Chains A and B, each alone.
Chain A
Amino acid sequence: MLDNLALGFSTAFTPENLLWCFIGVLLGTIIGLMPGLGSTTGVAILIPLTLTLEPVTALIMLAGIYYGAQYGGTITSVLISTPGEAASVVTTLDGYQMAKNGKAGSALAISAIGSFVAAIISLALLMWLAPPLADLALNFGPVQNLAIMILGLVIVVSFAGGSLSRGLMMAAAGLLISTVGVATGFSDARFTFGSINLLSGIPFIEVMIGLFAVGEVLHQIRRGADAPIRTRFRDMVISRGELKRSAGPILRGSGIGFVLGILPGAGSTLASFMAYGIEKRVSPRKAMFGKGAIEGVAAPESANNAAANANFVPTLALGIPGGGTTAVLLGAFTVYGLQPGPRLFETQPTLIWGLLVSFFIGNVMLLVLNLPLAPVFAQMLRIPYGYLYPIILLTSFVGAYSVSNNMFSVVLVLIFGVVGWIMKELDLPMAPLVLGLVLGPLFEKALVQTSAIGQGSFLVLLQSPISVGILLFAAALMVGPKIAGRFAVRRGPRVAATDDAETRDHAREEAGR
């Protein structure tokens, strides 16, 4: 462990990596606070820029954008009640009220401090938990890997939002898109319709840029301009009493965030909702919640950061992304020629430990950046969206072109931009589609190998205790919420008359966003 940490520090502390880490967290903060620009979009747009960097440097920067955006998303939640990130939605409840009471400074300070503490706790847990999990996963053959991928898809579908059938539909659509082109292991070209461009398949980055960046721009144009921005707060001073009151919520939020974040697909949004809900139940100041309680900011902000880090446990140890952004990051791994999965800990220790240690450094930078500079960042909100979105379009298309030096990529971005916009308008969940697309080739490989081991039969899946365990867990996740939902709905008299299934469907949609 200590050797690994030393290796990580020696990798992350080179001037180049420190610089790119700083650029990453700075861009992440800015991207997080821009309404309509989330961490997934930010990472997708910027992957092309990182192609000339060393993989470890590129990943340090991209990961910096991811957790930096968790800090930035808070600023808009507090100041204009408009979350820059889905994971900061809950923060609007008390954060905005605090800002209205003239306590914007305290709200931003406690979320920066809470985020930092949560990040450090969750990073320590991540470093402690990921390597043994990867060790365990190393013994997995194609049969177990297939079971894990099924589990990943099931989890993403059950937590990512939208109804179950819609989630499954999008996951299958992602798998289907991944089958375009010449399959690995076979010589047949599939669904290419005679196009040479499609022979190598539909490239991942173009789809991501289209879905997340262009799709979001189109969605925002139709949605209209946001409320005017007023930033009036004096300083970032926080009282000792406020710090004391927030200590418990920060620790509880970190714990809840980490546990939920480990589950592939559960993501930081759900974690922030759960942390807020639990805090509201256990707090002695229940009545203050929703009226500007600092605990209502501290808990969800700690939870979403802890979950963002915990997302890297399945991403790095199993090669199964924890959420939308980690799915895009995992796609970036393959772009740099790295095969995500447990073997990375053995084959690329410098990369893995350098990346993990850079999280520590990045979070320290973010704390330093966010405590005194949040008011400065808030000024960015004054950039009119009318200028911003054409620039996002330009960056998206140039970025796509630079990946392949081919106009076909640009056309693909436009097509998937329209698809992404339609999905947003219709509330079709993106995360299952992304995961299906990322896992597609690996899934097919595991299918082929499993089928070869079983000589055409998939019953081998049921002969390994590990894969049976994983599949049972997946089944429990599909059925469990249904049963739990039934109980929850029966308990609450307010909703007693409602239809259980519909409540659950709608619920997942909102909670998962």
Chain B
Amino acid sequence: MTAVHRGGLAASAVLAAIGSAALVGGLGYGVTVEGGEIGPGFLPAMAGGLVAVFAVLDLVGRLRRRPDRPSQAELILDTPSRPDDGIVLGDPLDPGAPTTSTQSIHSPLATDDDDGVDILGRTQRQRNRMLAVVLGLVVVTLAMVQVVGFLLAFVLLLFVVAVFVEHRRVLPSALVAVAAGVVTYAIFVALLRVPLPQGLLGLI
């Protein structure tokens, strides 16, 4: 079972739970009002119920589904990647094979459990870590907005991501970060007069 498969099952389970909760919540708001017409709870209950039902159906579908089927895109195009046996889109071993989905075209090497190395020599594991680091940095940046201000916090984020996550050279990274900050200031603060939070520092 791949990570995508497990993730799909988990997502459907979570959505089934959210949908059920919304159904109960919607019922609480009142599905009908006097006279039998629909009330404020009707749409929440209906949407929640539908989310729950289809999430359960999807869960069942995912448990039963086998991969490696020819797609309609391939049937339309008449270009199976491997004419004789199971047909896989975006064959990782043959990036030149006709692919029909953006994701498979974009990811000739990146699959979930292997160590596919990208052109900068980073393995899948390293890229997963990068993602976690970037997400963490964004959260830290949002927290820092209160202290150093919105613009400074995000310029700092830009620099830190470029230098420490992407391993770009320091000087160009600093230039790009400052330039992006200046352009953002010009457009949003000077032109559109958006009062970006200045934080405790109160600089810009």
Contacts and interface: CB of A to CB of B under 8 A. Distances in A.
Contacts of B194: 398, 401-402, 405
Contact of B105 (A92, A273, A418): A92
Contacts of B83: 494
B139 to A, nearest CB: 7
Interface residues of A, number: 96
Contact of A82 (B39, B105, B192): B105
Given A398-B150, A401-B196, A224 B51 contact: no
A168 B54 contact: yes
Nearest to A495: B70
B91 interface: no
Given A224-B127, A447-B43, A49 B192 contact: yes
A510 B74 contact: yes
A398 B118 CA distance: 31
A498 interface: yes
Nearest to B43: A444
A58 B131 CA distance: 34
Interface string B165-198: 1111000010011001000100110001011110
Interface string B93-106: 00000111111011
Tell me the dominant secondary structure on chain A's binding face. helix
A353 B174 CA distance: 46
A222 B127 CA distance: 5
B158 to A, nearest CB: 4
Contacts of A391: 158, 176, 180
Interface in A433-480: 436, 440, 443-444, 447-448, 451-452, 455-457
A157 to B, nearest CB: 10
B72 A191 contact: no
Interface stretch (A14-22, A199-207, A302-310, A419-427): A419-427
Interface residues of B, number: 102
A172 interface: yes
Contacts of B184: 394-395, 398
Contacts of A428: 11
Contacts of A3: none
Nearest to A458: B38
B109 A507 contact: no
Interface string A378-416: 000000101101110111011001100101001100100
A446 to B, nearest CB: 11
Given A274-B76, A455-B37, A510 B61 contact: no
B127 to A, nearest CB: 5
A89 interface: yes
B71 A225 contact: no
A218 B135 contact: yes
B148 interface: no
A166 B72 contact: no
A226 B48 CA distance: 40
B18 to A, nearest CB: 8
Contacts of B119: 224-228
A165 interface: yes
Contacts of B122: 224-225
Contacts of B138: 393, 414
A288 interface: no
Nearest to A173: B51
Contacts of A273: 73, 76-77, 100
Interface in A164-218: 165-166, 168-169, 172-173, 175-176, 179, 183, 186, 188, 190-191, 218
Contacts of B124: 224
A93 interface: yes
A386 B7 contact: no
Contacts of B69: 495, 498-499, 502-503, 506
Contacts of B118: 224-225
A218 B131 contact: yes
Given A183-B40, A222-B131, A494-B80, A390 B71 contact: no
A391 B155 CA distance: 9
Nearest to A161: B101
B100 A290 contact: no
B204 interface: no
A504 B72 contact: yes
B102 A86 contact: yes
A176 B73 contact: no
Contact of B70 (A188, A223, A226, A494): A494
A404 B126 CA distance: 37
A191 B43 contact: no
B69 to A, nearest CB: 5
B11 to A, nearest CB: 5
Interface string B22-62: 10011001101001111111111011101100110110010
A99 interface: no
B8 interface: yes
Interface in A485-513: 485, 488, 492, 494-495, 498-499, 502-511, 513
B127 A411 contact: no
B192 A503 contact: no
A444 B46 CA distance: 11
B203 interface: no
Q: Which of B35, B42, B130 has the most CB of A within 10 A?
A: B42
A489 to B, nearest CB: 8
Given A186-B39, A224-B118, A394-B158, A52 B44 contact: no
A276 interface: yes
B73 A166 contact: no
Given A172-B51, A221-B127, A224-B116, A407 B145 contact: yes
A387 B73 contact: no
A226 B43 contact: no
Contacts of A322: none
Given A169-B55, A227-B119, 7 more contacts: A89-B100, A93-B79, A169-B51, A179-B43, A224-B122, A410-B142, A443-B43
24 contacts: A81-B105, A92-B105, A166-B54, A172-B50, A175-B50, A176-B47, A183-B43, A188-B29, A224-B116, A386-B167, A393-B154, A397-B154, A414-B142, A422-B7, A422-B11, A424-B103, A427-B8, A447-B42, A448-B38, A456-B32, A509-B101, A510-B74, A510-B101, A511-B100
